[in-house]
Each structure stands twice: as C-alpha cells, then as structure tokens.
Structure 1
Amino acid sequence: MTDTSWLPGTLLRRIDETSRRALLRLGVERTAAASRVLLREGVQESHVILLDDALAKVTVAMADGRQALIDVRVSGDVIGEPRSATVTACRTSRIRIIQRSELRAFLRGHPDAAMELAGIVANRLRTANRRRVDFAAHPVKVRLARILWEIATAYGYRDHNGIAVDIHLTQDELATMCGAAEITLQKALRDLRTAGIIATGYRRMLVRDAAALQSRADAP
C-alpha cells in the first residue's frame, strides 16, 4: 500500500516511507479469521501485532463478566503496546506477528517511528481515561459525540461532503462504547442525523458538520 492507503492516525500513515517499508518486513505474516482473539487481556506474551489489512475491536472485562467495547483498531495500527485489553478480529484479517525484540531493534533504528508510537500510546491512554470520566459525568448524547469525534479525527479522511470514516460499527457496539442502552443510543444517533451533523450508511459514517459535532463533544 502507499502512504495514503493507511487511515490517518495509524502508525503506518504517520511514519515515513523508509520506516514503513522496514516495519512491514518485520515478523511473520498470518491470516486471522473473523472473531479470532488476537490478544487477550492480562496475558503476557513476547510479541506485538501489526494490522496489515484488518479491522479489530478492543474490549475489556467488566465486573459482571461481560466484555465492554472501548475502541477499534484498523489496518496500519500496532496492537499490544500496552497489553491492557482483549483485541478480536472483526473480519478475516491479514496481520504480522512481531517479536518484541524485533520491534525494539526497529525502533532504535527508526527514532521517528519510536516517537510516533509513543505519541499514539499516550493518546490511547488519555482517551481511555477520558471515557471513564465521561461514563460517570456526561449524558449519552455527549458521550456519543465524543466517541464519534475521536474516531473521525483518528481515522477519518476529507471528501467533498465532509469527514468520511470507513469503519463499520453496529449500533450495539456503539451503545457499548457509550455505556448506554441501545434504544437510548438510537435516539442520540437519530438526533445527530436529523440535525445534519452525521450521515450513516453501509460500513461508513460521514461527518457532515465537523464544527457542530466537535461542539457537542466539548459540551460540559
């Protein structure tokens, strides 16, 4: 793939071509079937995974035994740094399994990639902490706006109608990310569509009014 084939916000999009080619030569290529667990929360292993052509969901265990969806990962992302959640393939995916020793050697030789990966990890930790606060302090419509804005800014790209995001999340998955009942999530989504802020279609979301979505996301 070219650099523009990777979604904005992914490691492979953020590093230069030399580093990108070197990273894509690391590890061993594997195919993961849909619903296969790629990484399991709490299990210590000696590798990380580069998502070459993939879509995966990130979940954590709740006190009642259910898995809560907290984020998504797409082609170009590295997962397993840090290993604090379960990551499951959402569709048949091509991945590269990279030993940590290989990754450390790569990062020493490509300091630009090391800086980008550190920034991505820091952003993910901030996002996770913010969501824990949001669940307790904000209504569903604000939590939804924040999640959609985070996904759009991380993985979206500009087209003539707005910011397009080619990531498919079901309403049930979005409801889980928002910590809301699905019927409540449906109403919040309908309000955003009626206001002309977003449009949803098959495996795609379009942010038509970025300023309005950001304003709702920043609501106190």
Structure 2
Amino acid sequence: MTTRRTLLADLSSEGTAELGRLGTLTVYPPGRTLMHEGDEDRHVLVLLDGCAKVVGVSPGGRESLLAIRVAGDLVGELAALDGKPRSATVTAVLTTTARRLSGDEFLALLGRHPEDWLTVSRYVTAKLRDANRSRVHSGSPVVARTARVLIELAEKFGRPVGGGVLVDMPLPQSALAGLVGASEPALHRALTGLRRSGAVDTGYRRILIVNSTQLERAMRD
C-alpha cells in the first residue's frame, strides 16, 4: 500500500509559492458543498487542510463516491480547463480550508509556469482513471465500499506503525459513513466483519490496517 502524492507535492516550487498567494482563503464546515455537479462556474480550489468527498450521480440516479480529496489536492480544475459544467459534486467531510482561485487566475498561473502544465495534466489523468474505477464499485456491498474507502484513506493519511498502517486522522464514524455512502449501523456491521476477517483493527476515531491483502480482497468481493 503506497502513499499517493498530491498535486502541490509535484508542482514546481515557483508554482506552489504563487498558488499560496493567489485567490481567497475560504473555510468550509463539514457537510458544506464546495461545488455542485452541473454548475457552470469555473473556480478552482486548492485544499490546504481537511477532507472532502467527490460524488457523481449515474443516469439511474445512484450516487457513487468518486474520490476523497485532502490537503494538497486540487478540485474543480476540469471546468477551468475545458469550460464545461461541473462533472461531480464536492462536499466537505471535515472542516476544510481551501484557497479559491478563479479559472482565469488558474490558467494564467500555468501560463507563467509552463513546466507545471505537464504535472497538472498527469494529475488530471490519474484522477479520471481513479474516478472510472470508483464508478465500477458504486453498486458494491457496504463491506466492499468500506474496504475501498479505508484503502484510499490509508494511501492518503496512512502512517506505518508496528502493527500495520494507521489512518492518521480523527474521522468520526458519521463522516466515515458519509464517505462510504451507508448508514452508521450498516458501516458498523461492515467494520465488524472486517475486524473479524483480520483486515483492520478499530477504536475511537482510530483505524489500523492490519492486513492490506485481506482488505483488498474484501473490496473485490
């Protein structure tokens, strides 16, 4: 299980420094929508702290978790790049701080730092591939969806410890249920099953990935 890099980790030092000066600083409380699917605004958000979920709706009306975004990630860049309506809804899961740039500010920044165009292109491509894989799992059982969310959280927040990989963030169960797209009782049953299988160990706002192979198996079942 490897840790994924964020966009800010891969941008040039000049581009990262300028991003930190542009736009306005905005704080979103848990549950606040940052962007709505179908909207035609063009702003871009650079996440500095917190956690947000990206959700899409299928033609049949089913919601699916497409991604989890954390500090260092970028959201909204597709609309700035292609001028099309938003392709997903982004909602804060924890209190989330972001720097909000207009689409024009974002494109002008890339124009001043052309070496970052390739970095952004690779970042967008990776996000689209992840979103496509996520749609495949949108109708999966709660246990499989829980396993997928835990794997992604471990990749973004994981910290190696003696017994495995600790998801190093104080995520309340209500927020985890929101990420999974399940009720809290259903999430509790899923976590109980994953504990019994030896995949995870959980405590109060604490998740330890004990056996990543077992967790990945649960995601595919």
Q: Residues 33-72 of structure 1 correspond to what in structure 2 (within 5 A)? A: 33-61=29-57, 69-72=65-68
Contact persistence 1:8–1:14 (CA under 8 A): no
SS in 1 for 2:146: helix
**What does residue 82 of structure 2 align with?**
none
Instruction: Give the aligned partner of residue 104 of structure 1.
Output: 107
Aligned length: 212
In the aligned structure 1, how far is the partner of 2:28 from the partner of 2:147?
32
CA distance in 1, matches of 2:59, 2:171: 24
Distance change (3 Å), C-alpha of 1:89 and 1:188? closer
Among 158, 161, 178, the residue aligned to 2:160? 158
Mapped to 1, the partners of 2:27 and 2:183 lie a distance apart of 34
Q: Alignment partner of 1:206: what SS?
A: strand
Look up the SS of the partner of 1:94 in the other structure.
Answer: strand
Match of 1:126 in 2: 129
Of 183, 200, 203, the residue aligned with 2:202 is 200
Q: Distance in 2 between matches of 1:161 and 1:179?
A: 28
SS in 2 for 1:104: helix
Q: 1:19 to 1:49 in 2, by over 3 A?
A: same
Seq. identity, %: 38
CA distance in structure 2 between the partners assigned to 1:49 and 1:196 by the alignment: 38
Per-residue deviation, residues 106-152 of structure 1 (Å, max 9, x unmatched): 2234455433332332232222222322345x554334323322332
Aligned to 1:3: none
Give the TM-score normalised by the residue count of structure 2.
0.74
Give the Cα separation in 2 of the matches to 1:201 and 1:113: 41
Q: Does 1:210 align with 2:212?
A: yes
Is the 8 Å Cα contact of residues 135 and 179 (structure 1) preserved in structure 2? no
TM-score (norm 1): 0.74
CA distance in 2, matches of 1:214, 1:168: 23
| CA 1:94–1:177: 2 relative to 1, 3 Å | closer
Gaps of 5+ in 1: 1-6
For residue 186 of structure 1, the aligned residue among 185, 188, 191 is 188
Query: How far is 1:43 from its partner?
Result: 0.7
Aligned 8 A contact 1:11 1:117 in 2: yes
Residue 69 (structure 1) shift = 4.5
CA-to-aligned-CA distance 1:158-185 (integer Å, 9 cap, x gap): 3444323234555566556556665554
